[in-house]
Structure 1
Amino acid sequence: MNTNELLKRLTVQLKQLEQAVLTHDANLPKREQKLLQDVDRFNSELFIQSGAKLAPCIEQIGKSISQLEKLIKGKMSTSTIALSCERIQNRFSAVRRALSTTSLGVKSAANQKAFRIATAKKRRNKFHDESGFNWIAAGVMHNSHQLYEELNKHLNWVSTFEQKILNLQFKLDSCHSADKIQMQNEILLVHRRLGKCRQAISYIEDRIQAFERPFSQTYKSFNR
């Protein structure tokens, strides 16, 4: 096969592959695009590409064919031209393989995402159990709305405890000396509850930040 026929055949192959790739990219559901948006589907020596869409590969193969044409016109050695042709054919094969394995890539990405979520949930549960606040229902830790409800509940308790301390302090100032020790112990007990409640508020606020941070990062990533 002479070089003109070789270049013509490669160009025809590229056009055919381009049509298949355009159809593939146009039919990609948004969910699959999102799952694969940061996935490198090829060896970096073949393509610079990430995500579900394969159109960037067509452009890169086209550039390789143009480079091959320059090598031929420059009368480069047969081995150099053969190596360039082999690289182009490897790229063709890689894209064809990718066209037929997108669903497998999506399944793998979905499994990895599920694993990451499960691992993060397990880590949150462990932290919750070791935090000393496991009297707060663990289920609350996985729901932003419930976290805010729990925070509001504890803020109300703080106000209640603070008012109770003021009332008890007022009574202490005017109570009989025989009752002062009991009153002081009661005030001390409410102070302890108030301190524990404030610690819980800090803990819940940390959980809210940890819960919402992944969604914030995802939003930024989606809009960049």
Structure 2
Amino acid sequence: MNQAFVKLQSKLEQLATQAQQFDNAKWFDKNRYIQNQPSLFDSHLFHTKSLLLTDYVDEIQIALKKLPPEQNRHAYQFAVEQVGEQMQAIIKVLKSTPVWAKENKLNKPKKAKVYRKAVQRIMQSSHELYQELSQNHEFERRLLEMISIRKAQLEGANAEKNAQLNAEILALHTRLGRCRKAISATEEKIQQLEKQGNR
């Protein structure tokens, strides 16, 4: 079980306490608009239809217990992303109430930062990383093409044009270096994610 997942579980336990306080305070009782809604959230986010936050936390807890095995990388990451989205939706509701404000005075901001980083790590699916890699490779291809075009233009160019083209080629090589660095970094992220998935 990876560290980010453990932090996610720990955050869910905190959310369960906050949701209970929220429900006990009956924040929605005076809100006619919400009282007329069958559910607090969109159906694509939760199957639960309720005006109690604890019911939605229960659904997330069940989802966490039923996560696909980590070996089944794509299914596992999709399920974790869904859990992350559900938790963010509950946090949004809590943030609009004094329950959250009071709780956050007790918790140091550092904890929230650590949690955000953990969620970001676990939610960045390999699909997004492969997309990023593909974009970087396309950028690399275009830079190489631009360098090639300018090198071809050097032939027969006068001294002034020659100096301009060489400066452009140098700038393009600098951009190419940064692009290749980004490609290496993304490939490393993919490897780390795949290692996590195989644990």
TM-score, normalising length: structure 1: 0.36
Comparing both chains, which one has the higher relative contact order based on Cα–Cα distances under 8 Å and sequence gaps of 6 or more? 2
Q: Compare the two structures and name the one with the higher helix fraction.
A: 1
Larger Rg: 1
